[in-house]
Amino acid sequence: MVSYGAESLLDERLPNFVRHKVASFEWRERPVAAAKLYPELTNRLFRALHRVHFELGPGFLHQVYRRATMAELEHQGLNYEYVKQVPVYYEGHCLGLQPARLICVEDKVLLATVALRQTDKATQAQLKARLKHLDLQLGLLANFNGTTLQIAVIRT
């Protein structure tokens, strides 16, 4: 009886120059800009997001990327809170809770992970509104949909 495991089939189909190579994640630290808000934390978040995209690639639903991002933040020792709902106020009156599904990192940065064909101004405006309601100054909108991770920096 012959066993055809996935590895043996994969080895037979790959060309010699690729067959025994293993992809690894390498991050090049970006220079810290003095004018940037929370530069060290932002660089760590960019690293975490790129690592998640490297490991998973495109093709999953946004909740998969959100869960993987939270796991990576935990792995990197960053404190975060999963924000499921945001209170909405109008002239001092609480109108209710709005579903949010965001990650607040180190009580400084609001992180939204999405898997959309493309993010538009409305998506960015929604994150900006959430920043204001949570009294935060910096947000990152990470779109995992394509072969290249897209990160938009949103400030209030």
pLDDT tens, per residue, the chain with 156 residues:
444 444 544 556 656 655 666 677 776 776 655 558 899 999 999 999 999 999 999 999 999 999 999 999 999 999 999 999 988 889 989 999 999 999 999 999 999 999 999 889 999 999 999 999 899 999 999 999 989 999 999 998
Burial tier of 17 (Cβ tally within 10 Å: 0-12, 13-18, 19+): exposed
| DSSP state letter for 96 | E
Residue 76's pLDDT is 94
Residue pair 126/108 in contact by the 8 Å Cβ criterion: no
Provide the residue ranges of all domains of the chain, joining segments of one domain with +: 30-155
Count of C-beta atoms within a 10 Å radius of residue 48: 24
Count of C-beta atoms within a 10 Å radius of residue 96: 8
pTM of the predicted protein model? 0.79
Residue 4's pLDDT is 44
- Structure tokens, 146: 């394509």
